Amino acid sequence: MRPTGTERERLLVLAAQLPWVHIIDLGDGCFTPGTWSQPNPSLVKAADSVDFRGKKVLDVGCWDGLWSFEAERRGAAEVHGIDLVTQRRWSEQSTFLLAKQILGSRVHYHPDVSVYDVQRLGINDFDVVIYPGVYYHLKDPLLSFSRLRNVMKEGATIIVEGVILREPGCHARFFYRDVHLNELSNWWVPTIDCLRQWVECSYFELQDEFDFWDAGNNNPRHVLTARAVRRADPLYNRRPEGLEAFDLNTYAPTFIDPASVGGQAAPSLLRRIARHVPASLKRGPHAEPLRRYIRQLEARQSASPRH
């Protein structure tokens, strides 16, 4: 329930004294004094393309809660905002909880959950994930996409927003000794094509991309949406660690010792191996190593004792 009267006035006075990064509409013409400008307009367009009504939503790196409260305002049935406050400024100021109280919000706030540990929530059927301004702050951005895919239902939508390199090609730059955008927590910055492939290889299917936005001070941003999928991916020739549940490929049996099944089983064993090898392994650079492996199995089989 939203506070009213003198209690609301007291909370608004407190809000005006705290440091905020988000500008959040608290109602009746009152806004939090965020140091960031209004959000990326392309991110707003991406959110407008998603139907939040009745959905279960995850807001990653929620900070003051702008997108958590916005998802709730747009009709989401359940919203969880996660943040790892030890990794950001003003971690001692619980602006999220203050905004939640002023708004009378039902959003769940988790200030000690990293995107790497999102499965700690015990929820694996999110309909919508909002992932703005986070991946480039991580040493392992690909791991983050994998962990998020594991808590999303098939067909769910992820909104990804962040800094990119405005240059052709598929690559990312790592920043450690060099500091990017005067921020020591910026680690990996990808090109647009690299960001697309990070998302796609994590068992998402790209849906829409939105207008490029320059936030100023050499801070170009890109926004895309993607759908969580299960598929047989021809670009994987081994089981993708951490994403096995979404992989529909068929692979050869692992570590079969032909000597353990007896000499007469060798032909059927080799046929079984060949049947399970993806077509992509039977051509190109993988073909000769595969043939060599089969020859080694045949040689071991021939040398094994027959009873």
**CATH code of residue 197:** 3.40.50.150
CA angle 81, 113, 103 (to 5 degrees): 25
Q: Range of 267's domain?
A: 250-303
Residues 170 and 214 in one domain: yes
Residues 62 and 185 in one domain: yes
Question: pLDDT value at position 88?
Answer: 78
Residues 84 and 148 in one domain: yes
Average pLDDT across the chain, whole number: 89
Q: d(Cα 130, Cα 133) in Å, to the nearest integer? A: 10
Question: pLDDT value at position 256?
Answer: 65
Which amino acid does the sequence have at 61? G
DSSP-based three-state secondary structure for 170: coil
Question: pLDDT value at position 135?
Answer: 98
Given a contact cutoff of 8 angstroms between Cβ atoms, the answer to whether 115 and 147 are in contact is yes
Does 28 map to a domain?
no
Q: Where are the alpha helices (H) located in the chain, listed in sequence order?
A: 5-17, 41-48, 66-73, 95-103, 141-149, 192-200, 266-276, 287-303
Residues 55 and 170 in one domain: yes
Residue ranges for the chain with pLDDT beneath 70 = 90-92, 255-287, 290, 297-307
Q: Mind listing the pLDDT tens digit for each residue in 237-284?
A: 899 999 999 999 998 877 666 656 554 444 555 565 565 566 666 666
Does 276 map to a domain?
yes
Residues 209 and 75 in one domain: yes
Does 29 map to a domain?
no
Residues 57 and 180 in one domain: yes
**Which helix (H) or strand (E) covers residue 160, if one does?**
strand 152-163
Does 171 map to a domain?
yes
Domain count, the chain: 2
Residues 209 and 276 in one domain: no
The helices-and-strands tally (H runs, E runs) of the chain is: 8, 12
Does 153 map to a domain?
yes
